[in-house]
Structure 1
Amino acid sequence: MGAFFACRNKQTLMRILKFPPWVLCFSAAILVFVVGLLVLGAFSRSFFHGRIGGLNEEFEFAKRAPLKGSGYPPVLAYWISGSQGDSEKILRLLKAVYHPRNLYLLHLDAGASHYERSRLASSIQSEMIFKSFRNVDVVGQSYAVDQRGSSALASILHGAAVSLRISQDWDWFITLSASDYPIVTQDDLLHAFTSLPRDLNFIHHTNITTLEEYQRMNQIVIDPNLYSSENTEIFEIKETRVTPDAFKIFTGSPWVILSRPFMEYCVHSWDNLPRKLLMYFANVAYPLQAYFQTVICNSPQFQNTTVNTDLRYIVWDTPPQKGPQLLSQALYKGMVQSGTVFAGPLKEGDPMISKVDDYILRRPSDGVVPGQWCLGPLVNQSRKELKHDLCSSWGSVDAVEPGPYGKKLRSSVLKLVEERQQLGQCDLW
């Protein structure tokens, strides 16, 4: 309850100042949010690196950075997050989206134990391919997160800040949860994005128009995870606030693929718009469904860089506020034909995950997805090792070889980019 309810002991002072009690409480909550962000920034100095020495002589250390520029594939920065019991799912997801060109930052929130976090880091350190390419990191210190509150937004911004600290050579920032899964190979995805302008942002957005949407934005909520060490549920207070007139609110999907220039803008906030909106959305429920949309559509610099799609296969419950349905094998055909890149949340233990591995990704049971960079197993590997690892020797990380779906995906993405004016740029009127 923290700073907010501490205000209730200062009724006399508030009467003298003629402020209603909730005003000072609300201000205190904002202050806590700002301090929380500063603390999260400090966390970026504490994470395990997947950059370990002492490699087996059979493996050549991959020192060369990916080539960049016209004609070369982009570099993707992945932020993969989870909570208690998600370490194995995160490791599986990492292997399903792994490519030596990309960067990967893994995070387990305060719901996970220190043991689980350490075990995830140890698993990364034990994989020869991750040690060789040094492009996987695990955040070493936890903090509390509620996906319905502003702590989830702070976590995403933390991931972007750490990714920028690790490297500024990536092109797009992709957020995934432990329950998400790719339905294309990385060679297919990199091929589809190679010819695109690197300032595009794949973000589903729409301006709010209904009374119910305005009421949700005006309802004040408090996220205790900004000042608590353990995961705690958000709560509403009875007071509301007026609809803002300094900016227009946009909403959309919480899953995004955002450009590095836009993420730098959100992190550094040089014209103060992202920071001002961060303060506003600190007390809004489900800010991940509105913050990035509102920032980008109110920014003259970025409002014409949007492609109005999240490239996700999601089946929403009715009403959609209840969240997306768990995907199972019954939805496999629709998912494959959707023309999207990621799907989720997947029902754990459902055979659809194995079906995606077998028929789409061609991923071995405990290995990474083979790509053009993968030259196959080492000559002296045992049959048991071959079952789990088909990529023990490597070629160029700058070459990708798309399959039929990758070529189709490239055409559909290019069509979306060409038609984005008709699909709906930010409408500020």
Structure 2
Amino acid sequence: MSLCLSTVKTHILPNRFIHNLCVLQQMESTLKQQLHQKKKKWFLLLIASLFFSSLLIILSIFVSHDLLLLPHFSSKPTESQRPIFVESKIPVPTVSSTENRVPRLAYLISGSTGDGESLKRTLKALYHPLNQYVVHLDLEASAAERMDLARFVEGDGVFREIGNVRVVVRSNLVTYRGPTMVSNTLHAAAILLKEGGDWDWFINLSASDYPLVTQDDLLHALSSVPRHLNFIDHTSDIGWKEFQRAKPVIIDPGLYSLQKSDVFWVSEKRSVPSAFKLFTGQFGLDDALSSIHRLLYMGVGQPPKSSPYVLCKFPLLTRGILSYGHL
């Protein structure tokens, strides 16, 4: 019995070994076939890429050769070749084109309570279709007086047709000798820069001012003047103003109150700055447009010296300042 079992085992073991060997051989052949197919696929892709690369190189050579044979034209793009959706740069006017045309003035005419009629008179005397105007009655004037000024501007046929007179709707409370005078001037300048179009000089007047020459004569006289000049009465010899204007610290009630009152001085004094020189001058300015852009972003001080100081502080603006004494 034991002999028979041993015989069976010896027969079973070789059969299993042969079966496993066959399976391994089949797997090996399958793997070889798969590898061969992959190599064949990559080889075909490589051949195709080489073919297309060679074709592109040949085409580029022929195209460049044809372009060399063509006559040379100017590379400057024409109007039709310029991109439509790319924002073009703002054209900078040349000096000749700017200075040959008739200059344009921008006026601020300010008034307070009881100045409505005199402001209308000044506006009529100063009016010219080429100029731009901003009129302002401060908050001390009654609402009826401010509405009457707005109706006057709106009802005038010439003002309405030309559209160059603007009334400050949101009136400011302006304190004489206070920084609110400067802020009111900058407010008007901002309106003119935003809505006033192209103008050359900014002139700040009050309702009590009246012109001694016509606007035609004034524009003719300024037509040959370089546009970058600023006509400001200024001096660095401040004298007594060092103790009465530079050192005192003032508070302007117009910055926080709706009731108009004069500025008041703080008991403390400040020292005169040594890092820069102070300038003083008249508050009525005749500023060039290029300087107004910069004044809008500068610090604000007391009116008689704020704008002359800012303009005289920077070398870029100093070259364009002309004092009244030189006229």
Question: Normalization by structure 1: what TM-score?
Answer: 0.52
Q: Any conservation in 1 of the 2:203–2:287 contact (CA below 8 Å)?
A: yes
Partner of 1:231: 260
- Out of 175, 198, 214, the position equivalent to 2:242 is 214
Question: How far off is 1:124 after superposition?
Answer: 1.0
Alignment CA distance shift 1:69-1:120 (3 Å): same
Aligned counterpart in structure 1 of residue 306 of structure 2, from 291, 303, 317: 291
Deviation digits for residues 108-152 of structure 1, max 9, x if unmatched? Answer: 001111111111010111111111111001011222111211111
2:293 aligned residue? 264
Aligned mates of 1:158, 1:231 — CA distance in 2: 19
Q: 1:116 to 1:127 in 2, by over 3 A?
A: same
Q: Is 2:128 the partner of 1:94? A: no
Shift of 1:209: 4.6
Q: 1:84 to 1:209 in 2, by over 3 A?
A: closer
Aligned-pair CA distance for 1:177: 0.1
Secondary structure at the residue paired with 2:294?
helix
Structure 1 residue 168, shift from structure 2 partner: 4.0
Aligned to 1:196: 225
Name the CA distance, whole Å, in 2 between partners of 1:241 and 1:168: 42
Pairing 1:171–2:200 present: yes
Code of the aligned partner of 1:87: G
Misfit runs of 4+, over 2 Å? 68-71
Q: Which amino acid aligns with 2:265?
A: E
Q: Radius of gyration: which is bigger?
A: 2
Q: Write the letter of the residue equivalent to 2:146.
A: R
- Equivalent in 151, 157, 160 of residue 122 of structure 1: 151
- AA aligned to 2:264 is F
CA apart distance, 1:294: 0.6
Asked if the contact 2:107–2:204 (Cα under 8 Å) also holds between the matched residues in 1, the reply is: yes
**Structure 1 residue identity aligned to 2:180:** S
Q: Secondary structure at the match of 1:156?
A: helix
CA distance in 2, matches of 1:309, 1:231: 33
Identical pairs, percent = 41
Question: Deviation string for 1:156-211 (max 9, x for gaps)?
Answer: 1111111111134111000000000000000000000011111100000111352x
Q: 1:156 aligns with which of 174, 178, 185?
A: 185
Output the amino acid matched with 2:290. Answer: P
TM-score, reference length from structure 2: 0.68
Structure 2: distance between partners of 1:250 and 1:209: 7
Mark the CA change 1:186 to 1:238 in structure 2 (over 3 Å): closer, same or farther.
same
CA displacement, residues 254-286 of structure 1 (integer Å, 9 cap, x when unaligned):
11100010000111x3xxxx23xx2xx2xxxxx
Indicate the RMSD between aligned Cα atoms, in angstroms: 1.4
- Say which SS state the counterpart of residue 237 (structure 1) adopts: strand
Does residue 1:252 correspond to 2:281, yes or no?
yes
How many Å separate the matches in 2 of 1:209 and 1:79?
Answer: 27
Whether 2:101 is the aligned partner of 1:72: answer yes
What is the match of residue 303 of structure 1?
A: 318
Distance 2:143 2:276 in 1: 42
Letter matched to residue 147 of structure 2: S
Alpha-carbon distance between aligned partners in 2 of 1:201 and 1:299, rounded to the nearest angstrom: 13
Q: Give the structure with the higher percent helix.
A: 2
Q: Distance in 2 between matches of 1:235 and 1:154?
A: 18
Q: Which amino acid aligns with 1:292?
A: S
- Aligned in 2, Cα 1:81/1:209: closer, same or farther, shift over 3 Å? closer
State the AA in 1 paired with 2:315: P
